[in-house]
Amino acid sequence: MNILLLYPRNPDAFWSFRHALRFISKRAYSPPLGLLTVAALLPASWSKRLVDLNARELDDQDIAWADLVFISAMDSQYQSTLEILARLKPYGKKIVAGGPMFTMDPDRFPEIDHRLLHEVEDTLPRLLADLEKGKAQSIYDTQEWPDLACSPIPAWDLIDLNDYSSMSIQYTRGCPYECEFCHIEVLNGKVPRYKTTGQIIAELEALYTRHWRGAVFFVDDNFIMKPQHLKEDLLPAIIGWMEKRGHPFFFYTQLSINLADDEELIALMVRTGFDTVFIGIESPEENSLAETNKQINLRQDLLAAVKKIQRLGLQVNAGFILGFDHDTAATFGKHQDFIQESGIMGAMIGLLHAGKGTKLYKRLQRENRLVENSSGDNTDFSTNFITRMSREELTAGYQNLVRTVYSPPFFYERLKTFFNNYNLPRRKSPPVQLSDLKALFRVFWIIGFLEEERRYYWTTLFRILTHSPRLVPLFIRLAIYGYHFRMVYQKENLKNKAC
């Protein structure tokens, strides 16, 4: 069979890094790891093509060629998914859909022929067997959480690695915490499951063999759920592999704030090559954290924890949420103060959305407060439920917050705070590539001369060149991120005003 795998376009939001990609001549941030894994699970004798609409256009010839079309999507890709389905309709192709959006709301797209709900290691083999018999069903679901030891190396040969700024691998799925707004418990379960150390090394080797050099994102729900195994097995193995291969990668991942309690683990992560961690801070308001059952954050001094992680050599990006029932007019200022004082350069600030199937969705449904489906994009200046704070006050406060923290005066002042606290590890970096030199030139031109921030940019750069020249590459990268975040939120401001 000829199999076409399609990944919808991401909206222009925090995780797309679309405005940052223009500096490094990349088409997309990271590849669709789920679809690449699905492709590796399909029969080797089948022909496969993967089209990531974030990196490539979909050609009519691709559609005509296919016997079967696979689509995977998240809620934030809803609009692009609609466009794909409309494009496919005249061809009458059979469509298989899976991933978070279809699992959480399987009845949303009646035109889909076959739905693979939850994790494909269990459901895909059953679909393939039924296709062979000519009696495939409309829905394949499972109550089991598959052993990740059965998960294959992704089919990297289906994409051009040069289209992306980062590669992705997965070590674990699942999270035992029960945050009210989160859907991980429904999608991946409460009991974390792990790939073996051998699998992870094999996946790194596969990327290395295909000449990838640079960033690798561990896309885990929470990377540190098995800290002893990390310290005694996985991280030492990666350190050995990195030394053998000349340190070709640097890593980043998602994890919880209790990393700050384990200095040994932080030190090992830094030695392994981890550069940045993303942490769900959510809110500096204790009442809001209690409301959403973010218990792990209530047990920490969040500001002190962030500063400790930075001081020990890891950058911290973080998620922040506004729109909890306990938020007040003072909450916006508390968020701003926390972000500035912590020196968090990548602060993803969004409005609360109730994703279908989450505990939050079910509570709001009981309270008759739901008004529409979630867009999945929490930077779109809307919520899908009736908030306790007036929508006008919430929207205005949110707009003012994001406009302020990413304005050049606040961004570059926060950058100074971060550099004053952060200890840049001394380690071998991946070799400089042509894209790095292009990025440097474009930063000088776009940010250094054409943008409103040029005065702050040059002042900060000269200070760093004088006092800490080792920080210059990191400064360039953070300046690009700041530009991206500012463009995202300015775009949304304009859209909101237009409405």
Residue 427's pLDDT is: 79
Q: Are 124 and 5 in contact (CB under 8 A)?
A: no
Residue pair 414/317 in contact by the 8 Å Cβ criterion? no
Can you give the CATH number for the domain in which 234 is found? Answer: 3.80.30.20
158 lies in the same domain as 195: yes
Instruction: Tell me whether residue 273 is in a domain.
Output: yes
DSSP class of 69? E
For the chain, what percent of residues have pLDDT higher than 70? 96
The verdict on 30 and 102 lying in the same domain is: yes
Q: Is 398 within the bounds of a domain?
A: yes
| CB-based contact 184:175 (threshold 8 Å) | yes
* Per-residue tens of pLDDT for the chain, all 499 residues: 999 999 999 998 888 899 999 898 899 999 999 999 999 999 999 999 999 999 999 999 999 999 999 999 999 999 999 999 999 999 999 999 999 999 999 998 999 999 999 999 999 999 999 999 999 999 999 989 999 998 999 999 999 999 999 999 999 999 999 999 999 999 999 999 999 999 999 999 999 999 999 999 999 999 999 999 999 999 999 999 999 999 999 999 999 999 999 999 999 999 999 999 999 999 999 999 999 999 999 999 999 999 999 999 999 999 999 999 999 999 999 999 999 999 999 999 999 999 999 999 999 999 999 997 766 666 677 899 999 999 999 999 999 999 999 999 999 999 999 999 999 998 776 666 676 777 888 898 899 887 778 999 999 999 999 999 999 999 999 999 999 999 988 755 544 433 3
Domain assignment present for residue 340? The answer is yes
- pLDDT tens, position by position, 117-158: 999 999 999 999 999 999 999 999 998 999 999 899 999 999
Residue 376's pLDDT is what?
66
Are both 53 and 82 inside the same structural domain? Answer: yes
The pLDDT value recorded for residue 137 is 96
List, in order, residues 6 or more apart from 123 with CB less than 8 Å away: 98, 116, 117, 140, 141, 142
Residue 318: in which H helix or E strand, if any?
strand 315-322
Does residue 427 form part of some domain? Answer: no
* Residue 359, φ and ψ in degrees, nearest 5: -60, -35
The pLDDT value given to residue 497 = 38
Among 140, 166, 188, where does a domain finish?
A: 140
Q: Which amino acid is at 76?
A: S
One domain, residues 122 and 163: no
Whether residue 241 lies inside any domain: the answer is: yes
218: closest CA among 186, 180, 249? 249
Report the pLDDT value the prediction gives residue 499, as an integer from 0 to 100.
Answer: 31
Instruction: Supply 485's token pair.
Output: 């975040």
Residue 426 domain flag: no
Number of domains in the chain: 3
My answer on whether 178 and 327 are in the same domain is yes
Report pLDDT for 431: 64
Virtual CA dihedral for 98, 151, 213, 175, nearest 10 degrees? 70
Domain assignment present for 183: yes
**Cα 147 from Cα 35, distance rounded (Å):** 18
| Upper half-sphere CA count for residue 96 (Cβ side, 13 Å) | 24
CATH code at 10?
A: 3.40.50.280
Dihedrals phi, psi of 267, to nearest 5 degrees = -60, -40
Residues 393 and 479 in one domain: no
Asked, for residue 428, whether it belongs to a domain, the answer is no
Mark which of 140, 170, 199 sits at the end of a domain: 140
Residue with token string 């308001």: 285
Q: At 364, phi and psi to the nearest 5?
A: -65, -30
The length of the chain is 499
Instruction: Identify the domain containing residue 84 by its residue range.
Output: 2-140
For residue 458, how many other CB atoms are within 10 A of its CB? 14
pLDDT at 426: 87
| Cα 77 versus chain centre, distance | 13
Cα separation, 300 vs 305, whole angstroms: 7
Last residue of a domain, one of 92, 109, 140: 140
CA distance 63 to 41: 21
| One domain, residues 30 and 94 | yes
Give helix 472-498 / helix 454-467 axis angle, nearest 10°: 160
Element containing residue 79 per DSSP (H, E): helix 78-88
The confidence score (pLDDT) of residue 429 equals 67
Element (H, E) at 251: strand 249-255
Joined tokens for residue 80: 């692009």
The answer on 221 and 200 residing in a single domain is yes
Positive/negative CA dihedral, 337, 342, 347, 353: negative
In angstroms, rounded to a whole number, what is the distance separating the alpha carbons of residues 241 and 213?
14
124-156: burial string, b at 16+ Cβ within 10 Å, e else: beebeeeeeeeebeeebeeeebbebeebeebbb
Sign of CA dihedral 201, 423, 300, 398: negative
Based on the fold, state whether residues 395 and 282 are members of the same structural domain: yes
Pair (20, 113) in one structural domain: yes
Q: Do residues 126 and 239 both lie within one domain? A: no
User: Are residues 44 and 110 part of one domain?
Assistant: yes
pLDDT digit string, tens, across residues 464-497 = 999 999 999 999 999 999 999 999 887 555 444 3
Which of 265, 337, 260 shows the shortest CA–CA distance to 304?
260
